[in-house]
Amino acid sequence: MPQKKVGILTAGGDCPGLNAAIRGFGKAAIREHGMELIGFQDGVRGLAEGRHIPLDGRALSGILTVGGTILGTSRDKVDRMVVDGETRDMVPTIVENYERLELDALVTLGGGGTARNAYKLAKAGLNVVHLPKTIDNDIVGTDDSFGFSTALEIATEAIDRLHSTAHSHHRIILAEIMGHRAGWLALGSGIAGGADIILLPEVPYQLDAIVNAVERRRKEGLNFSVIAVAEGARNQTDAMALAGAQALSDEASSPATKAAAKKAKQDLERSMRDNTLKLATQLEDATGLESRVTILGYVQRGGTPCAHDRLLATRLGAKGAQLVDDGEFGIMVAAQGTETGTVPLKEVGGKVKYVPLDHPWVDAARAVGTSLGDV
């Protein structure tokens, strides 16, 4: 049987565990299944431009604990890629490169946006397998994505450290945590770090409810509060405005009106980027307590992956190699309980796994007295 040749790429935001997944897939593909492996540089752009490097046992050695991705990454869309200042559909070019390189399969590592790219390539006839990564843990169909656990530990440690300053100076400390659409990271780290208030994109907040939570603590002799804020958390008024802008975009009938509605929504979102800073000022005015903001930002994406992410990445990567060898394509490898399953790409791409309002983490937070900023 001829040796299978497989291409692999990483796309979207970087995160801990990407190199572990490259290694997990690559070592299993080479050692267990006798495949030849090449890596495309800088995500789907490298795939479109034909930039690749060989990945053998030596290249895969020593990368398990390394953060980021040895292949580089980008956020390009396969059907709307800017090339020489012009937006072009690069799917035909990618298909040509795939065939020219005589690939038997393509493995993509990324989040929901990369899964959407993967699905478009699968519909164009490529044999594609996707591995889920994101620190936001917002990919549908999988219980877990590599990168999340490491980011969760980083955010939790940050909240731990902010407690001492909040307590010593009798301050309100707001820790802004990544999570533009889904609040898994803020919710998990907020609970684990003992935040007094947690604000999520899924639960539009009311300023009065947050102030009441701070004042309740003050009556109990606790003149400080720590608030975990997902970057996508919004008050009820702003949340309604964003929902309205999204509805206009969804209802737009022509390309021109749809583009205008999309731009209006993007402009509205940009106007809310300093939301956490504004909230800090509002809380200081309402309570008289000094309020400070710490924005964790890209610190949450960096550094060595934790043991859980290394295990998960290796497990999903090895399963991906088995699926390629079995000829199963158009799917995402998924962590489903203690099992490793698969989900069709058409059910994954572009969708978001939001925090359910009846999730056990939400129930636990409320049970221990944590406010979610709602009434």
Based on the residue annotation, tell me whether 136 is a catalytic residue of this protein. Answer: yes
Instruction: Read off the pTM.
Output: 0.93
CA distances, 102 to each of 120, 203, 236 (Å): 19, 49, 53
The domain 5-146+305-337: what is its CATH number? 3.40.50.450
Closest CA to 120 of 349, 351, 353: 349
What is the arithmetic mean of pLDDT over 93-99?
97
3-state helix, strand, coil in the chain (%, to 5): 45, 20, 35
Each domain of the chain, given as residue ranges in start order, spans 5-146+305-337, 152-234+272-301+356-367
Q: Is it the case that residue 250 has pLDDT exceeding 90?
A: no
| Set 42, 136, 144, 325: catalytic member | 136
The CATH number fitting domain 152-234+272-301+356-367, selected from 3.40.50.460, 3.40.50.970, 3.30.460.10, 3.40.50.620: 3.40.50.460
The better pLDDT of the pair 284, 375 is held by: 284
Mind listing the pLDDT tens digit for each residue in 156-188? 999 999 999 999 999 999 999 999 999 999 999
Q: Is it the case that residue 1 has pLDDT exceeding 80?
A: no
Intrachain domains 5-146+305-337 and 152-234+272-301+356-367 with the same fold: yes
| Adjacent-strand bridge partners of 291 | 172
Mind listing the pLDDT tens digit for each residue in 333-358? 999 999 999 999 999 988 999 999 99
